[in-house]
Amino acid sequence: MKIQIWSDYACPYCYIGKRHLEQALEQFAHADKVQIEFKAFELYPHAGKTAVNTTQQRIEQKYAKSPQGALEMIDHIEKMGKRAGLTMNYADVKNTNTFDAHRLYQWADSLGKGNQMNERLMRAYFTDNMELANWDNLAKLASDVGLNGDDAKAMLASDDFIQAVKNDENEAQMIGVQGVPFFVFDGKMTTSGAMPVGRLVAILNQVYQENPNDISEGASCGIDGCE
């Protein structure tokens, strides 16, 4: 079974949804037959190379929330992450452009380190609060998963994997992805959002038995916001 996941490193529900899927696979009898492919999606394609606001400020502006309302949303996401076993310092993330982070993943994946790189990028953003548009940071993250940091910088300075990321984004547009995480199970069934573990287990079994429904939805993030 092949699972394709469109996600962004700046999406809290993508990290939570990823962990939920991993926990579901622990309960799936055929997990050894599952192949996961991560696909690029940018929630903030026009973001710059450095952070210009806090999470609270961004939520207040994007959702027209009061300061207290923004803090409550942050607290809800951090608690949701904690229930999934994650340490998410969402209040302190440094939101920047993630295009080069997606390129780094594509490069790492070509070298057999895709899963490790994806996890490290997520943790770097939500736990370590690193700017993912910074090439020094990306080179360090590459080193953290056993790749050569100088080679990572050389790749980032080239045009390598630019088209690969654009292809993922174009494909997302073609199949109608509006929010992430967005899962495609074996090309047969789609789900949008951070689905509960139990629901994912049911979907895995359902798809394995080749009896899919059309679509399921959970908490997700789109360009216009998270819901």
Concatenated DSSP letters for the chain?
-EEEEEE-TT-HHHHHHHHHHHHHHTT-TTGGG-EEEEEE--S-TT--SS--S-HHHHHHHHHT--HHHHHHHHHHHHHHHHHTT----GGG------HHHHHHHHHHHHTT-HHHHHHHHHHHHHTS---TT-HHHHHHHHHHTTS-HHHHHHHHHSSTTHHHHHHHHHHHHHTT--SBSEEEETTTEEEESB--HHHHHHHHHHHHTT---SEEE-B-EETTEE-
- What is the pLDDT, as a whole number, of residue 216? 61
Asked if the model's pLDDT at residue 221 lies above 90, the reply is no
Domains of the chain (ranges plus CATH)?
2-226 (3.40.30.10)
pTM of the model: 0.92
Mean pLDDT rounded to a whole number for the chain: 94
Predicted local confidence at residue 188, as pLDDT: 85
Asked if pLDDT for residue 42 goes beyond 70, the answer is yes
Share of residues in the chain with pLDDT > 70 (%):
93
Mean pLDDT over residues 96-120, rounded? Answer: 98
